[in-house]
């Protein structure tokens, strides 16, 4: 079975490729990745030539067509993924997330292949801090940022292609991931690598915002279950019930785990339009496909965080060269 993984040199995509080779050796994997600032071939270095790697753009219709023609399943991770970048420069988000997804859809339609589209909880907008509800598959879309609105647009395109052209596609909307190979611009690796660089962690605003953290392996296990047993045309919410920890508590957990005082961090400028709370109801995925996260509740999150901290500590060569430039970009915004 041939699998084409777009964005396979990025954080979740690379972990997906590692997970697939380890647990699902029946798949023959090809990665298509543009190697933007967020893509890194090193993320796949330990795999050697057991996969095929194609450096290229998902907006390149000719290239996408030739790769899709020669595959059975496309798993579409490639995206511009960072909210803060989308506030500075929205265009690459429109181009890759919308035009790129359109390009994939047209090739998948032409060659009648199976597609799984990776999306996010952010398409639903946010909940109030005191709202006990969680997002479900039927929650209306209400995205806040250029990033989340382009992801919402890509989900709509996939649904339209399913309904209008009978495309064999599924969608998953997952909450905030953490784990190895995540770019140091993102919240958790930024704080870990700050502490490893003797810089204080940076908390946006008051830090009351809540994210429903999930370990990347739990996400990728769910994606494989959807490939195995998901119903065509369906959407599945993925979340590990970690919607009780706010950003402040996560920073305190990281400080404590890394041997610093719990309050060894500083408040910096808030993100404009900052979403308050995300919370995911993944009961459909659990009930229909039997998915169960491993890193759930406070203990699971602490285990996952500890393992992630150890990875960044042991792999300083992977991130150190980019640290100064990443922090300089944030500093310009008082973050």
Contacts to ligand NAD by CB under 6 A:
6-7, 9-13, 33-36, 38-39, 57-59, 77-81, 96, 100, 118, 120, 151, 174, 176-177, 183
Handedness of CA 57, 63, 64, 68 (dihedral sign): negative
Q: Annotated catalytic, 60?
A: no
Q: Closest Cα to residue 192, out of 297, 311, 37, 330? A: 311
| CB of 161 closer than 8 Å to CB of 109 | yes
**Are the beta carbons of 50 and 21 closer than 8 angstroms?**
yes
In the chain, DSSP finds a helix count (H) and a strand count (E) of 12, 11
Q: Is 278 a catalytic residue?
A: no
Minimum CB separation of residue 258 from ligand NAD in Å reads 21
Rounded CA-CA distance 44/110 in Å is 30
Q: How far is the CB of 97 from ligand NAD (least distance, A)?
A: 7
Rounded to whole angstroms, the Cα distance separating 52 from 66 reads 14
Find the shortest distance in angstroms from Cβ 99 to ligand TDX.
18
Nearer to ligand NAD, 180 or 201 (CB): 180
Partner touching 2 among ligand NAD, ligand TDX, none, CB below 5 to 8 Å by kind: none
Angle of CA points 97, 149, 213, to nearest 5°: 90
The item of ligand TDX, ligand NAD, none sharing an interface with residue 202, based on CB under 5 to 8 Å by kind, is ligand TDX
The radius of gyration of the chain's CA atoms, rounded to the nearest angstrom, is 19
Residue 58 binding: pick among ligand TDX, ligand NAD, none (C-beta 5-8 Å cut-off by kind): ligand NAD
Q: CA quadruple 83, 84, 87, 90: dihedral positive or negative?
A: negative
Q: Which does 109 bind (CB under 5 to 8 A by kind): ligand NAD, ligand TDX, none?
A: none
Residue of 33, 80, 122, 126 marked active site: 122
Of the listed 121, 212, 252, 275, which one is catalytic? 121
Report the DSSP pairing between strands 214-215 and 177-178.
Answer: parallel
Q: Residue 190 binds which one of ligand NAD, ligand TDX, none, with CB within 5 to 8 A depending on kind?
A: ligand TDX
Nearest distance from residue 198's CB to ligand NAD, in Å?
26
For residues 115 and 109, give the distance between their C-alpha atoms in angstroms, rounded to a whole number.
Answer: 10
Backbone angles phi, psi at 174, to 5 degrees: -115, 155
Minimum separation from the CB atom of position 53 to ligand NAD (A):
11
Catalytic residue among 147, 178, 236, 265: 147
33 or 217: CB nearest ligand NAD: 33
Which is nearest to 258 in space by CA: 250, 247, 266?
Answer: 250
Please choose which of ligand TDX, ligand NAD, none residue 211 contacts, taking the beta carbon within 5 to 8 angstroms, the exact cut-off set by kind.
ligand TDX
Could you confirm whether 218 is annotated as catalytic?
no
Coil, helix or strand at residue 246: strand
Q: Which residue number, 10 or 230, has a Cβ lying nearer to ligand TDX?
A: 10
Nearer to ligand TDX, 176 or 296 (CB): 176
Point out the residues that are catalytic.
Answer: 121-122, 147
């Amino acid at each position: 079975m041939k699998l084409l993984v777009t964005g396979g040199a990025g954080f979740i995509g690379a972990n997906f490729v590692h997970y697939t080779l380890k647990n699902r050796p029946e798949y023959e994997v090809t990665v298509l990745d543009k190697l933007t600032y967020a893509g890194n071939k090193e993320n796949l270095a330990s795999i050697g030539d057991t996969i095929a790697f194609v450096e290229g753009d998902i907006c390149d219709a000719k290239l996408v067509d030739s790769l899709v023609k020669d595959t059975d399943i496309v798993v579409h991770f490639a995206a511009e993924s960072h909210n803060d970048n989308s506030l500075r420069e929205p265009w690459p988000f429109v181009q890759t997330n919308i035009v790129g997804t359109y390009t994939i859809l047209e090739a998948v339609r032409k060659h009648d292949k199976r597609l799984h589209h990776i999306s996010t909880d952010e398409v639903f907008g946010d909940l109030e801090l005191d709202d006990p509800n969680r997002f479900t598959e039927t929650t209306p879309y209400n995205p806040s940022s250029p990033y989340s609105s382009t992801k919402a647009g890509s989900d709509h395109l996939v649904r339209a292609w399913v309904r209008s052209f009978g495309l064999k596609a599924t969608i998953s909307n997952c909450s905030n991931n953490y784990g190895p190979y995540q770019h140091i611009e993102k919240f958790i690796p930024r704080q870990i690598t700050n502490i490893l660089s003797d810089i204080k962690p940076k908390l946006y605003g008051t830090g009351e915002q809540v994210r429903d953290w999930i370990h990347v392996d739990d996400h990728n296990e769910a994606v494989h279950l959807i490939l195995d047993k998901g119903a065509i045309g369906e959407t599945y919410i993925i979340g590990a019930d970690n919607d009780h920890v706010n950003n402040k508590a996560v920073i305190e957990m990281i400080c404590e785990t890394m041997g610093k005082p719990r309050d060894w961090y500083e408040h910096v400028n808030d993100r404009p339009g900052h979403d308050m709370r995300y919370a995911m109801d993944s009961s459909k995925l659990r009930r229909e496909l039997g998915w169960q996260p491993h890193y759930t509740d406070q203990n699971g999150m602490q285990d996952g965080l500890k393992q992630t901290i150890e990875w960044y500590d042991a792999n300083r060569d992977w991130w150190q060269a980019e640290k100064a430039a990443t922090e300089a970009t944030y500093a310009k915004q008082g973050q």
